[in-house]
Amino acid sequence: MAENSTLRSELWIGGTWRPATEGGYDVEEPATGTVMGQAGSASAEDVDAAVRAAHEAFIDRRWSGLSGRERSRILLKIAELIRENTEALAQAESRDVGKPITFARVVDVPGAADQFEYFAALAQQMDGSVRDTPLPAFAYTRREPHGVVAAISPFNFPLILSASKLAPALAAGNTVVHKPAPQTPASAQLLGEIFQQAGLPDGVYNLVTGPGAETGRQLVTHTQVSAVAFTGSTVVGREVARTAGELLKPVAAELGGNAANLVFADADLETAVETIISAFVFNTGQFCMAGSRLLVQRPVYEQVLEILGAAVGGVPLGDPSDEGTVIGPLVSGAQRERVERMVDDAVSAGARVITGGSRIEKDGGYYYAPTVLADLPEDAEAVREEIFGPVLTVQPFDTEAEAVALANSTPYGLAAGLQTSDLSRAHRVSEQLRAGIVWVNTWATLDVAVPFGGVGASGWGRESGPEALASFTRTKSVIMAISPEASTPGAS
């Protein structure tokens, strides 16, 4: 695979590239604001062709009919090929997300490979169980795939958040139609050929791209799509869940977050400040589990603000292709305008700007300075809502109970964390935080073995860990007569 592959304006359907009936749409490079190429613009007809290819591949059992061990071997090969093609995948991810290349190489590509490796092992353990009943019958359960899964992924971690759906879906024997975010189709375009090279039968993975919401809607409503796995905004997640619910299709929805990071006065402040900064600048803040809401115990409040004021401006910001870059551009002009508006509104409402607070003009890219805002009104949108940019809001608290109440005061519940040296407090507060994942004295440390997912407005279901398989399987019970009495209706 070439290390600098170019975008294609076609769709991967049934194991081959096919022209999109509506041609292509422009994909921008966030570091320069220029068009880097075109991806295929799928019509309803193309979506239908992709779903039909996936459905045919499901019903003829070319994938679900393989043993778990055979599927596992192919998934392991996929993981190996992803690692072998690290440079091409990392370059693709870096160029269309604006993601710093070093992070793409050490976080995104290995993270995606890990998903296939991990679920390759679980593909061999799709066991049911024998049930002890008083029936004159042999009763057992089977875990079966749903059929065609629609995997809808977002722009911020295109590879990882595609792999976190595709790997468990495929491990369980489903076939897939994948729709990446319109802004970031590049790495997904490399996956189809990797899958084929690994031996995944044609039609088991299909890719449709498109510039708007329609492609996603067509997938969710298609009669041959049996289940949906979605990551994105809470607004769209609600729509997807509503539509799929009406059609009685299971949905896994990993949605927005607004994580609170609690700093207690007993924390080791030097380490805590490093954690605080990486928690809100990681992936330029475009991380659903970003620690963007800092709550600091009053005795160290001004001290923490002072340290942040001195340190945050020094985090390397710039061209994502430079190996030293930590903060790249935001994904699009629209995303930057959203961040800018939320910061400007907070400042108009009385927020104190500790550092940053404005866009950075550089190479025509969508850069925004890492920003720390203090003393915001409790009802400021920047406090209540997901910002998805390199922005930290800081509020003081006095007691542990007040900190927990503030942390739990938004409808979201994806991640939360605390910085403390008190072991009892660490466990006590972890239990009280309303979130799917809690970090203590660290942030954003994730592994494919550890599930994550939301509470409340942050969604349903879990990705990673064995828990992820729940979204991609259903249980069937089989009851087989072992004596004549069992064939009598109602016999027990």
Ligand X SMILES: O=C(O)/C=C/C=C(\O)C(=O)O
Query: What does the binding site for ligand NAI look like in residue numbers (CB under 6 A)?
Result: 152-156, 179, 181-182, 213, 216-217, 220, 231-233, 236, 239-240, 254-256, 288, 335, 338, 386, 388
Name, in order, each residue with C-beta under 8 angstroms of 304's C-beta and a sequence gap of 6 or more: 263, 269, 272, 273, 276, 294, 296, 394
Report whether 388 contacts 338 (CB < 8 A). yes
320: DSSP letter: T
Q: Using CA atoms, how far apart are residues 314 and 281, in angstroms rounded to an integer?
A: 12
Q: Using CA atoms, how far apart are residues 343 and 340, in angstroms rounded to an integer?
A: 5
**Residue number with CB closer to ligand NAI (288 or 312):** 288
**Residue number with CB closer to ligand X (53 or 259):** 259
Q: Is beta strand 459-460 parallel, antiparallel or unpaired with respect to 251-254?
A: antiparallel
End-to-end Cα spacing for the chain:
62
Q: Considering CB distances under 5 to 8 angstroms, the limit depending on partner class, which of ligand X, ligand NAI, none binds residue 446?
A: ligand X
Which residues is 355 bridged to in the sheet?
A: 372
Count, residues near ligand X per rule CB under 6 A: 11
Residues 266-325 that bind ligand X (CB under 6 A): 287-288
Q: Is beta strand 367-368 parallel, antiparallel or unpaired with respect to 359-360?
A: antiparallel
Q: Considering CB distances under 5 to 8 angstroms, the limit depending on partner class, which of ligand NAI, ligand X, none binds residue 24?
A: none
Residues 132-171 that bind ligand X (CB under 6 A): 156-157, 160-161
Catalytic residue among 28, 29, 254, 340: 254
**Residue number with CB closer to ligand X (5 or 156):** 156
Asked if 94 is part of the footprint of ligand X (rule: CB under 6 A), the reply reads no
Q: Considering CB distances under 5 to 8 angstroms, the limit depending on partner class, which of ligand X, ligand NAI, none binds residue 182?
A: ligand NAI
Annotation says 254 is catalytic: yes
Tell me how far, at minimum, the Cβ of 291 lies from ligand X, in Å: 12
Report whether 240 contacts 154 (CB < 8 A). no
Site map (CB under 6 A) of ligand X, residues 228-267, x = contact: ---x----------------------x-------------
**Residue whose token pair is 């061209």:** 319
**Residue number with CB closer to ligand X (71 or 165):** 165
Pick from 391, 396, 445, 393: nearest CA to 417: 445
Pick from 246, 430, 233, 250: nearest CA to 334: 233
Asked if 184 is part of the footprint of ligand X (rule: CB under 6 A), the reply reads no
**Residue number with CB closer to ligand X (38 or 156):** 156
The residues that are catalytic are 254
- Contacting residues toward ligand X, per CB under 6 A: 107, 111, 156-157, 160-161, 231, 254, 287-288, 446
